[in-house]
Amino acid sequence: MDYNYKMIIVYDGGRYDGFQRQKGRLTIQETLENCIQKIGKEDVKIIASGRTDAGVHAIGQTVNFHIKKKLKEAEFKQQLNEELPEDLKIIKIEQATGGFHSRFDALSKTYCYTIDLRKRPCVFTRRYAYSVPMELDIEKMKEAVRMLIGVHDFRSFSSEKRKEKDTVRNLQNIDIVLDNEYLKLYFTGEGFLYHMVRILTGTLIEIGLGKVGVQEIPEIFQAKSRYSAGFMAPAHGLMLVEVRYSG
């Protein structure tokens, strides 16, 4: 018999080569697994709700792992946080049902992309917000959102290196929020293709700058080509905010 534990973790992805373990690279998965194995005295494999790219951050990443002994959650959380580096911490740990899977059981995920609208980017947030010093037409961007949400084939909004054969996704919502001198784009969906959020963001920025017209969106969908959509926004502005599960 083993025990299944669910954790919510937060990390600054700036110095990591993404979430997934890669040989010879510093990753979130390897760092977390090594720490759990050191304290729990047992090899474990972390399963994430999604594998964030290099440089992407998270304040609500959900993971789970199986271990053969029952843990004292509060004590184990404290021990992990004392051992983990400052840019990776555990927010919550709890025992889950034996069949819980952080990826397959997720109902939806929300990502936030932050854009700094200042003429010169803020010194203190430059690692977490992409600077766009030109004026954006936010109403045009909101008009485009209405055409992007829903069930579509998002092949044009995914990287050529994607592994998924099925490129149809349900993009449930995009909220555009003006927060003082920052523009925050919240993307919620059942699942996302490789680089999909960053390419959607780049396309919305180009629409806001007048480089792409709202009326071109149907053509972008129909083209089913990465080259028809906008640029891919840099990783550092992206944050995994929340993963939702039933109950």
Helix (H) or strand (E) holding 82, with range, is: helix 73-83
Burial of 159 (0-12, 13-18, 19+ CB in 10 A): middle
2 given a catalytic annotation? no
What's the pLDDT at 240?
A: 98
Fold of the domain built from segment(s) 3-96: Alpha-Beta Plaits (3.30.70)
| pLDDT at residue 161 in the model | 72
Note the pLDDT of residue 98: 84
Question: Whats the size of the chain, residue-wise?
Answer: 247
CA separation for the pair 20, 174 (Å, rounded): 26
Contact of 228 with 156, CB cutoff 8 Å: yes
CATH code that applies to domain 108-244? 3.30.70.660
Quick check: do 3-96 and 108-244 share a fold?
yes
State residue 1's pLDDT score: 75
Contact assessment for residue 243 and residue 101, using Cβ atoms and an 8 Å cutoff: no
Give the residues across from 66 on adjacent strands: 4
pLDDT in tens, the chain (247 residues): 799 999 999 999 999 999 999 999 999 999 999 999 999 899 999 999 999 999 999 999 999 999 999 999 999 999 999 999 999 999 999 999 889 999 999 999 999 999 999 999 999 999 999 999 999 999 999 999 999 999 999 999 998 776 678 999 999 999 999 999 999 999 999 999 999 999 999 999 999 999 999 999 999 999 999 999 999 999 999 999 999 999 7
pLDDT of residue 216: 96
Look at the alpha carbons of 180, 14, 240, 78 in this order and tell me if their dihedral is positive or negative: negative
| pLDDT score for 74 | 96
The CA-to-CA distance between both ends of the chain, in Å, stands at: 25
Tokens, residue 195 = 């680089």
Active-site pick, 17, 43, 53, 87:
53
Q: What is the β-pairing status of strands 238-244 and 57-67? A: parallel
Going from N- to C-terminal start, the domains of the chain cover: 3-96, 108-244
Q: Does pTM top 0.85 for this prediction?
A: yes
- What does the block give as tokens for 100? 């819980």
Structure tokens at 7: 């954790």
Token pair 């039933």: residue: 246
